[in-house]
Chains A and B, each alone.
Chain A
Amino acid sequence: MTLPAILDASEMGIIFAIMALGVYISFRVLNFADLTVDGSFVTGGAVAAVMIVKGYSPILASLAALIAGFFAGCLTGLLHTKGKINDLLSGILMMLALYSINLRIMGLTLEDGVSLPNIPLLNEDTIFTKVGDFFNGIGLGDYGILIFMIFVTLIFKLLTDYFLKTEIGLSIRATGDNQRMIRSFSANTDGLIILGLGISNAFVAFSGAFIAQYNQFSDVGMGIGMIVVGLASIIIGEAIFGKKTIARTTLAVVLGAIIYRIFITIALNQGILDASDQKLVTAVIVVLALILPKLIDKQREKNRKAKHRLQGESNSKANGEGESVA
């Protein structure tokens, strides 16, 4: 595998890392498996693409995508808290609704139609053409996008770290941890869930907006399985880099997203996989990541018990004294 291929994969990975941070906020912090992500990722891409085609600045277009994602997440939160719909189902319903909404959003570029599944951005000014121009100007063209994305993703990471330590952020974490407790300390958990899902999907949509600009097209199918990619990034990152503190975990999630993307790229490049296998591989990674720790724990437990049995036998031979409980 060539260096440029790895560089490309890292660029993609670090853009997807913003999405993974969003999934981290819903899945880990709020303890809410939010499938809205598959839809809101596309919403981000669609909003940005439409605005860019209509001549708005790519920065403004990306920020608009962020806001659109925020509202999508809030709606899922409303379905769950006020509509009392189960968390998975609220996300699925929102994802389904967004599919149509995304087609409509992209249809806004048409003069004689209502919906459109794909918008090309080949000849448009995107955030990355601007970044490319700037870094070419200072002679760092090859690494420009990577440097820029490290900067952008770091901002999202640091904002997340800070936010989760604020009074509101702490309450959102407590809502994911022990709702009954935080309600007894006068926190409106419904509002916090809505806000948390809003922020989560804002991140996801922003990432979608950047991916659309990076790939130079927005497509209604680009969000399929995004939630699982997010989960895979979180799980890989946490497994390798640990989750001792919030700052450590968010860093792990970002790096996890990059490692995941490099891994997939290698597998595709080496001809081990066809592009169409990607979703299957992602699913398998997540399944393994969920099952393996349990198997490992079980094996450890077995070993531990075996050790104690051995000790117990030798003890009872010596003086028959039982284990002391610490």
Chain B
Amino acid sequence: MGRVNLLLELKNIKKIFNEGTLDEKIALNHINLSLEKGDFVTIIGSNGAGKSTLMNIISGLLSPDAGNVIIHGNDVTNIPEYKRSKMIGRVFQDPMAGTAPSMTIEENLALAYSRNKKRTLSLGVTKKRREFFRESLASLNLGLEERLNAKIGLLSGGERQAISLLMATFTEPDILLLDEHTAALDPNRAQLITELTKQIVKKYGLTTLMVTHNMQQALDLGNRLIMMDDGKIILDINEARKNQLTIDDLLIEFQRIRGEKLVTDRTLLA
């Protein structure tokens, strides 16, 4: 057991919404999960399986009813979201969510650049930083490095998502959380962002958790695949096995575990 390398540990996480009411829902039911440094885990599961809740528990947006979140061996369960986000980069599903629309590209990058530093009264965009921003943007191959002073709100969803991805990663966070970050884009843009994700995660060796609705994407990316259902992790597949799997195999597996017959990819993904 390479405990030394354990970067993220979730221990017995439980989260219940609307407890004690008719709408009570157990969103996470004793989740245990450990990630080693450099792991890239893709997560699939039907709606309401608890994928997003899991992400929000890790990021600190939600606090678990029971259990612990441990990063780098430190228990961060009670550390507020904004402090935890020094260590965690996030890209949301909504391309509008990850950037400040009325601010310029370089100002947005400056906001992200200060993530793990103390914010002071010195200028957010300096000459040196601008050069760094320009280089980073150039790596996206979208020509955005020529538009440093354009307001983010004027960019397309795909461009905004590419910048969100860059902003979430270029300070090399300990953990990267991607919550269906390609789902709101058209197929071409989604493909582009998927490619960029692959490149960037590899470049920085980021420990990554990616929720996706796209089973092919879940199989293609990463070194581990997790399937969730009804607040539990029902399948945890390592790299070797994942490489041999097809979408059909996943569906059959899902069907077997759930003990249901009428499973289509719609049930799993819808």
Contacts and interface: CB of A to CB of B under 8 A. Distances in A.
A272 B123 CA distance: 49
Most chain B CB neighbours (cut-off 10 Å) among A177, A185, A189: A185
B103 A174 contact: yes
B100 interface: yes
B119 A168 contact: yes
Contact of B100 (A163, A165, A168, A173): A173
A169 B59 CA distance: 25
Interface stretch (B41-49, B108-116, B221-229, B231-239): B108-116
B121 interface: yes
B258 interface: no
Interface in B25-75: 59
Given A183-B82, A184-B85, A186-B83, A177 B120 contact: no
Contact of A170 (B96, B101, B110): B110
Interface string A134-171: 00000000000000000000000000000101111111
B98 interface: yes
Given A167-B124, A169-B124, A185 B114 contact: yes
A186 B123 contact: no
Interface string A163-207: 101111111011001101111111111000000000000000000
Contact of B82 (A165, A168, A188): A188
A171 B100 CA distance: 10
Contact of B121 (A168, A178, A188, A189): A168
Interface string B193-229: 0000000000000000000000000000000000000
Interface in B105-154: 107-108, 110-112, 114-116, 119-125
Nearest to A170: B124
Given A165-B125, A177-B103, A182 B111 contact: yes
Nearest to A29: B102
Interface of B (DSSP majority class)? loop
B265 interface: no
A183 B81 contact: yes
Given A170-B111, A183-B82, A185-B111, A178 B100 contact: yes
Contacts of A163: 121
Contacts of B182: none
B99 interface: yes
Interface residues of A, number: 22
A184 B98 contact: yes
A183 B60 CA distance: 11
Contact of A166 (B83, B101, B124): B124
Interface of A (DSSP majority class)? helix
Contacts of A183: 81-82, 85
Nearest to A168: B119
B189 interface: no
B90 interface: yes
A185 B173 CA distance: 11
B167 interface: yes
B235 to A, nearest CB: 29
B111 A166 contact: no
B119 A181 contact: no
Most chain A CB neighbours (cut-off 10 Å) among B81, B86, B116: B81
B116 A186 contact: yes
A322 B202 CA distance: 45
Contacts of B101: 177-178
B103 A173 contact: yes
Contacts of A178: 96-97, 99-101
Nearest to B89: A184
Contacts of B112: 185
Contacts of B102: 173, 177
B234 to A, nearest CB: 29
A105 to B, nearest CB: 31
B115 A186 contact: yes
A163 B124 CA distance: 10
Nearest to A169: B124
A168 B111 CA distance: 9
Given A167-B124, A184-B168, 20 more contacts: A167-B119, A167-B120, A167-B121, A167-B123, A168-B121, A170-B114, A171-B114, A173-B100, A173-B102, A173-B103, A177-B100, A178-B96, A178-B100, A180-B97, A181-B97, A183-B82, A184-B98, A185-B85, A186-B82, A186-B85
Interface of B: 59, 81-86, 88, 90, 92, 96-103, 107-108, 110-112, 114-116, 119-125, 167-168
13 contacts: A163-B121, A167-B110, A171-B114, A174-B111, A178-B97, A180-B92, A181-B98, A183-B85, A184-B90, A185-B85, A185-B112, A186-B114, A187-B82
Please list the 8 inter-chain residue pairs (A to B) with the smallest Cβ-Cβ separation, ordered nearest first.
Answer: A177-B100, A167-B119, A170-B124, A186-B85, A174-B100, A186-B86, A178-B100, A166-B121
